Structure 1
Amino acid sequence: MDRRTFLSSSFAASTLSLAAAGDLLAQTEPAANISAPEYMDLRRYHLASGPGVKLTTDFFADALIPALNRLGIGPVGAFSVYFGPDSPSYYLLMPSLKIETLVTADLELANDDLFLKAAAPFWDAPAATPPFIRIESTLLRAFPGYPKVTPPASASAKGKRIYHLRQYQSPTNMDHVRKVEMFHNGEFGIFAKAGATGVFYADALVGPNLPNLTYMLSFPDMTSLEADWEKFSADPDWKKLSADSRFNLNPPTVSNVTSLVLHPLACSQV
């Protein structure tokens, strides 16, 4: 593969990666098992220590998540940063099969009387004392081979769990395509075999640091996270896949990795 190949735009690259992955999946999976990929809005609420943290927590639990569910968005994940930069920060994961539902959600919330009443302390906070510093949003589309947000079994019982949120940035669009193909050539299964529960795997369509992909894994605790990553790294199938000449390139297909460990908030549905 000529590494100088560069597609005209990062959005086009994401579309190509989905198409390529879909073709690959169609060769190995019955058509009946292929579902339409979900879209996701992954938001980061950059907070400041103080009363705004509780105000945002209450806003998520009492106003935002119930209103998003009424729009058909869910299950909604809500997380605090356990290990990572820019703390305090909250992350919100909003999945939907309809992209229009996600991109118009804030406009629709403004027409929801139940939401407006419950959200008033957050939405109507004085400009001099806002509950957050800034909100950043990334639009994602799930990989064809892992088309739905899949909460771990412990989420429904509000059991103990943590999440590993990772982003792989690629130096070129074609490198991004190759990395997506790598997931569809076995990486999903290797994670599962190691004990890591996949929550989602997705292309970034709109947002910073393009081209990139983002995925989330769930573990019972930090001890399990560390042990399962060691199992993944030592797995013979991973060693074989990572040595494949299609993916083992120099320079590598991933130029930068961001990695966060998140705790679910009490209101999280993931």
Structure 2
Amino acid sequence: MIHELRIYHCLPGRLPKLLERFERHTLRIWERHGIRQAGFWTVAIGPSNHALYYLLAWQDLAERTRLWEAFRADPEWQQVMAESEKDGPILSHVENMILQPTAFSSVR
């Protein structure tokens, strides 16, 4: 099992639109494709409150590639993304990292 940490840095004032997109659409589409989320966080105290942090759980990199590509190509997702950005982009940039558990990690 591997985890992917994704950080979506929003343009000022656009985080609510991103959260709405996840809650109303993205998670349902992920479920259809078999994408497993391990948690979502926003920043209560820290350098920026314009970001969404989340973890995805993958069996391996091959599963990640296969499922993520299918999700990105999904016509419903493409329509949802276009509709949510009709008033302008939501994100300034995205960071993602593939995490490997240490030998002493409680999460494997």
TM over 0.5: yes
**Equivalences for residues 24-39 of structure 1 within 5 A:** none
Closer/same/farther in 2, CA of residues 230 and 255 from structure 1, 3 Å limit? same
Counterpart in 2 of 1:238?
77
1:136 maps to what in 2? none
Equivalent-residue separation in structure 2 for 1:257 and 1:250 (angstroms): 19
Q: Which residue is 1:180 aligned to? A: 19
Deviations 1:101-134 (A, max 9, x none): xxxxxxxxxxxxxxxxxxxxxxxxxxxxxxxxxx
Matched residue SS, 1:255: strand
The alignment's TM-score, normalised by the length of structure 2, stands at: 0.88
1:210 CA displacement = 3.0
Higher RCO structure, 1 or 2 (CA under 8 Å, sep 6+): 2
Once the two structures are TM-superposed, the CA of residue 184 in structure 1 deviates from its matched residue by 0.8
Between the aligned residues of both structures, percent identity stands at: 28
Measure, in 2, the Cα distance between the counterparts of 1:191 and 1:225.
12
Alpha-carbon distance, 1:171 to partner: 1.4
The equivalent residue for 1:171 is 11
Verify: 1:253 aligned to 2:94, yes or no: no
Aligned pairs for 1:153-168 within 5 A: 161-168=1-8
Of the three residues 217, 226, 235, the one matched with 2:56 is 217
- Aligned with residue 45 of structure 2, among 197, 203, 206: 206
Is the 8 Å Cα contact of residues 10 and 51 (structure 2) preserved in structure 1? yes
CA RMSD between the two structures: 1.5
Q: Post-superposition shift, 1:250?
A: 5.5
What's the secondary structure of 2:17's corresponding residue?
A: helix
Amino acid at match of 1:183: F
Q: Give 3-state SS (helix, strand or coil) of 1:264's partner.
A: coil
Match of 2:100 in 1: 263
Deviations 1:238-259 (A, max 9, x none): 1221122xx1145411111111
State the SS of the aligned residue for 1:252: coil
Which structure shows the bigger proportion of residues in strand conformation? 2
How many residues in Structure 1 have an aligned counterpart in Structure 2? 107
Distance 1:182 1:267 in 2: 36
* 1:189 equivalent in alignment to 2:32: no
1:28-65 CA-to-partner distances (Å, cap 9, x unmatched) read xxxxxxxxxxxxxxxxxxxxxxxxxxxxxxxxxxxxxx
- Larger Rg computed on CA atoms: 1
Amino acid of the residue matched to residue 163 of structure 1?
Answer: H
For structure 1, the 5+ residue unaligned runs are: 1-160
Asked whether the 8 Å contact 1:169–1:210 carries over to 2, the reply is no
Matches within 5 A, 1:27-176: 161-172=1-12, 174-176=13-15
Structure 2 unmatched ranges of 5 or more = none
